[in-house]
Amino acid sequence: MKVAGTIETGDTKIEISRTASKELRLEHGDFVLVQGKRCYEAILVVCIVDGLGDAIARLNPVACRNLRVKSGNAVTIYKCPYTQPAKRIEIRPISDVREGVPEASVEALLKLHFERERAVHENDIFMVGDDTIEVEFRVILVEPQGYGIVNNDTLIARRVQHTPWGDIDATGAIRYEKIGGYDAQLQQIRTIIDASVQQDRDLRLAGNRTVHNILLRGPPGTGKTLIARAIDNETEHAFVWVSGYELLLQPLDTSMIQLAETFEDAVKMAPSVIFVDQIDSIASVPSCTDDYRLLSHLLGLMDRAGEAAVVIMAATNRPELLDPDLRRFRRFDREISVGVPDLAGRLEILKIHTENMKLDADVDLEWIAGSIEGYVGWDIAGLCKAVREQVCGRLDLIFLDPPTVAMRNFLRAISNTRGAMRDA
């Protein structure tokens, strides 16, 4: 069933047609387990709507966010024969509470939110608020089974701390705007993917194929996998993940079967994108018979996938190890360097990781960016993590009035860290 449009009210509702409800044997008000991208799940309440397409579902933006889907994406609906009351849930704020807001106000908003019975699932995001305050919360724990109905008997435990400062996205859903320093690379990747999957099938069969596959190359920690995660969350096309390293650890026959099934699924879901992380683990220059068999198998799958609107994207820290056949035309014929960020890139990454920090007036981010030449995104994230540890003592501890971060905190953190590519 595909998501088509959203509903403004009812963050726990899913609207489906009367015909679809009969096929799924659902009644108005039934609880269902809805599965979205990459197996993200949510418990929603069925709302039967006349005049809605039989293969269409409508969700509130909050539910879409929890399922990591948007209009055009597919969701799967499972009936929950018995959704039991939750004995205890644990929640944690994922956004700053404005200074000066009384604790009692937050408690009152939560009480109002759960006044009526609500279904919750671990990792759900929900928002409470009024005209003066908005606070987002994440459901950390639901006892006893990971999801359930919150009623008057449910114990609601609330942590006073919110998720650590500088998280890319509190839901784990990486967005394009949260990747600093690589705007040009992101635009290039998006252009290639969109142009490739939109090609008419007849043109490809006639030999005018223009689907291009993409190889991301660059040092460790620069953000190749992060870019893939952003594309997964932002693109409307199906996205399939493959870990080259995990395939390497498995028996050869198992790896070959899994690869074949992955490519088969991607072709069925086309237009789609396959991302192979650490591809050098399975596609280096063969040194034994097993290596040759796995590489040949991968190349064959890539060639056959080229007949469909499937873009294959891969990442490697060691492009020099890859077999030359992998980098031929119509295989990985587009290579994009994700290198060490320059000054502007480092500053952009710093701003992303400090956007939720309460910075003192003496903090000079431009000077900091200039002093950490050779730092990649991973290093800068680690630097900001060290700063948070200094100020808070614990990474998960933040109060309603966050402590102020001063320039001396950054200077101390810089003296105790070192960029992976500083001397490269």
What CATH number did the domain enclosing 130 receive? Answer: 3.10.330.10
- The type of residue at 294 is L
Q: Which domain holds residue 251?
A: 176-337
Does one domain contain both 224 and 278?
yes
pLDDT for 97 equals: 46
Residue 379 placed within a domain: yes
Instruction: State the burial class of residue 350 (Cβ atoms within 10 Å of its Cβ: 0-12, 13-18, 19+).
Output: buried
In the prediction, which pLDDT does 362 show? 94
Please, how many CA atoms are within 13 Å of residue 340, restricted to the half-sphere of its CB? 13
**Residue at a domain's end among 337, 352, 378:** 337
DSSP assignment string, 148-184? EEE-TT-EEEE-S--SPTT-S-TTS---GGG--S-HH
Asked if residue 171 belongs to a domain, the reply is no
User: 112 and 246 share a domain?
Assistant: no
The 8-class DSSP code of residue 209 comes to: -
> pTM for the complete prediction?
0.62
Q: What is the pLDDT, as a whole number, of residue 249?
A: 86
At 197 the pLDDT is: 66
The answer to whether the peptide bond before residue 144 is cis (omega within 30 degrees of 0) is: yes
Q: What is the CATH number of the domain that holds 72?
A: 2.40.40.20
Do 331 and 293 lie in one domain? The reply is yes
- Tell me the pairing of strands 310-316 and 334-337: unpaired
Q: Examine the domain organization and report whether 126 and 189 are in the same domain.
A: no
Q: Are residues 139 and 191 in the same domain?
A: no
pLDDT at residue 112 in the model = 87
CA distance 388 to 382: 10
d(CA 185, CA 350): 19
Question: Do residues 255 and 327 both lie within one domain?
Answer: yes
Are 312 and 276 in contact by the 8 Å Cβ rule? The answer is yes
Q: Looking at residue 398, what is its pLDDT?
A: 43
359 shares its domain with 329? no
Q: Are residues 100 and 130 in the same domain?
A: yes
DSSP string, 60-117: -HHHHHHHT--TT-B-EEEE-S--PBPSEEEEEE-SPPPTT--HHHHHHHHHHHTSS-
Q: What was the pLDDT predicted at 383?
A: 93
- Tell whether 135 is covered by a domain: yes
Last residue of a domain, one of 130, 158, 186: 158
- Whichever domain contains 213, its CATH number is 3.40.50.300
Q: Is residue 170 in a domain?
A: no
Which CATH number does the domain housing residue 348 bear? 1.10.8.60
Domain limit, last residue, from 322, 337, 352: 337
Residue 17's SS3 state is: coil
Tokens of 185: 């690379």
DSSP letter, residue 327: G
Same domain, 357 and 320: no
CA pair distance 11, 118, nearest whole angstrom: 10
Q: What pLDDT is recorded for position 346?
A: 94
Give dist(CA 16, CA 254) in Å, integer: 40
For residues 285 and 303, give the distance between their C-alpha atoms in angstroms, rounded to a whole number: 19
For residue 39, being part of any structural domain is answered with: yes
Does residue 100 lie in a domain region? Answer: yes
Tell whether 360 and 404 lie within a shared domain.
yes
Which amino acid, 43?
A: I
Q: Is residue 146 a contact partner of residue 80, using CB atoms and an 8 Å limit?
A: no
**What kind and span of H or E run contains 215?**
strand 214-217
Chunked mean pLDDT (size 10), the chain, 424 residues: 74 87 88 81 88 85 82 82 82 59 75 85 82 77 86 81 41 71 90 73 53 90 89 80 87 91 84 90 84 90 84 93 87 92 94 88 95 92 88 54 85 85 58
Number of folded domains that form the chain:
4
Residues 118 and 184 in one domain: no
Task: Please report whether residue 225 resides in a domain.
Answer: yes
Together in a domain, 259 and 378: no
Residue 407 domain-assigned?
Answer: yes
Cα gap 365→2, rounded to integer Å: 44
Question: What is the DSSP annotation of 228-276?
Answer: HHHHHHH-SSEEEEEEHHHHHHS-HHHHHHHHHHHHHHHHHT-SEEEEE
Residue burial 189-222, b: 16+ Cβ < 10 Å; e: rest: beebbeebbeeeeeebeeeeeebbbbbbbbbebb
